[in-house]
């Protein structure tokens, strides 16, 4: 329990970014870094970096800065990166398959243990090490296998139902790619990806920003 008070969601969202940049610095062989320079790289103020890091204790050293590997390891621990996670994917369409076979996962110690779909034609097919099961079998599967994360990649209409089944099966977190906001009770974290929303932010800028930034 390293967290001081309550860590704001804004800070939590920056944590993976810190981890990413620190990993990079380690690769470059940089062993120490000041909030000043880390800020310059990440496009944040030195002040903010010190505030953020201090949510988790005094990890720096006056006059020296931060030890890159030490800080990276500490943030990795806060993010739960040491653990490994069992994952199921609901919906074996384009997105479900792509996410299931995403290579970044192995590196992170995620095991995709099964996919589920209502389409009979897909049942039995294998995606990497995992097999596609019929959605009906989800409840039983969750009862037998300790699954931490459920990925929802169904059409909009099926998403909340899928989420409810996952929650009932004791899943701790849901990663939702369906184009609807999903609700889950406390104790089950949800991240909505909303690819289309994200894309429309781009069309907004294409449509409304002056081309070239000036004219």
Binding site for its own copies (CB under 8 A): 3, 7, 12-13, 15-17, 19-20, 43, 78-81, 83, 85, 94-95, 97-99, 101-104, 108, 148-149, 172-175, 179-181, 185-187, 189, 191, 193-214
Considering the complex, state which of residue 119 and residue 136 has its C-beta at the smaller distance from its own copies.
Answer: 119
Distance set, CA 214 to CA 64, 206, 209, 210, 211 (Å): 43, 13, 9, 6, 7
Interaction partner, residue 198 (DNA, its own copies, none; CB < 5-8 Å by kind): its own copies
Q: By three-state DSSP, how is residue 153 classified? A: coil
DSSP assignments along 78-109, one per residue: HTTTTS-EEEEEE--SHHHHHHHT-THHHHTT
Adjacent-strand bridge partners of 66? 33
Using CA atoms, how far apart are residues 128 and 112, in angstroms rounded to an integer?
9
Number of chain positions touching DNA (CB under 7 A): 26
Q: Which two tokens stand for residue 12?
A: 């939590």
Span interacting with DNA, options 47-55, 107-115, 158-166, 175-183, rule CB under 7 A: 47-55
Interaction partner, residue 20 (its own copies, DNA, none; CB < 5-8 Å by kind): its own copies
Considering the complex, state which of residue 103 and residue 208 has its C-beta at the smaller distance from DNA.
Answer: 208
Closest CA to 138 of 89, 85, 185: 89
Cα-flanking dihedrals φ and ψ of residue 153, to 5°? Answer: -135, 45
Considering the complex, state which of residue 33 and residue 130 has its C-beta at the smaller distance from DNA.
Answer: 33
Q: Report 56-95 residues binding DNA (CB under 7 A).
A: 58-66
Q: Does 48 bind DNA (CB under 7 A)?
A: yes
Considering the complex, state which of residue 158 and residue 193 has its C-beta at the smaller distance from its own copies.
Answer: 193
Rounded to a whole number of angstroms, the minimum distance from the CB of residue 196 to DNA is 20
Q: Please identify which residue in 36, 98, 136, 145 interacts with DNA, judged by CB under 7 A.
A: 36
Using CA atoms, how far apart are residues 107 and 126, in angstroms rounded to an integer?
21
Q: Please identify which residue in 46, 79, 158, 193 interacts with DNA, judged by CB under 7 A.
A: 46
Residue 203 makes CB contacts below 8 A (sequence gap 6+) with none
Chain contacts with DNA (rule: CB under 7 A): 8-11, 33-36, 44-48, 50-51, 53-54, 58-66
């Amino acid at each position: 329990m390293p967290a001081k008070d309550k860590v704001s969601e804004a800070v939590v969202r920056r944590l993976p970014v810190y981890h990413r940049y620190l990993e990079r610095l380690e690769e470059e062989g940089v062993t120490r870094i000041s909030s000043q320079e880390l800020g310059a790289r990440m496009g944040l103020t030195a002040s903010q970096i010190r505030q953020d890091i201090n949510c988790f204790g005094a990890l720096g050293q006056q006059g020296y800065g931060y030890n890159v590997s030490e800080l990276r390891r500490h943030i990795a621990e806060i993010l739960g990166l040491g653990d490994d996670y069992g994952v199921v994917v609901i919906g074996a369409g384009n997105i479900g398959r792509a996410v299931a076979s995403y290579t970044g996962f192995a590196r992170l110690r995620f095991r995709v243990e099964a996919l589920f779909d209502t389409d009979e034609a897909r049942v039995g097919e294998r995606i990497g090490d995992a097999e596609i099961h019929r959605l009906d079998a989800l409840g039983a599967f969750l009862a037998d296998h300790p699954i931490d994360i459920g990925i929802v990649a169904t059409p909009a209409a099926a998403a909340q139902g899928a989420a409810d089944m996952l929650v009932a099966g004791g899943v701790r977190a849901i990663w939702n790619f369906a184009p609807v906001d999903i609700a889950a009770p406390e104790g089950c974290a949800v991240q909505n990806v909303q690819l289309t929303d994200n894309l429309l932010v781009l069309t907004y800028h294409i449509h409304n920003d002056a081309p070239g930034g000036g004219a």
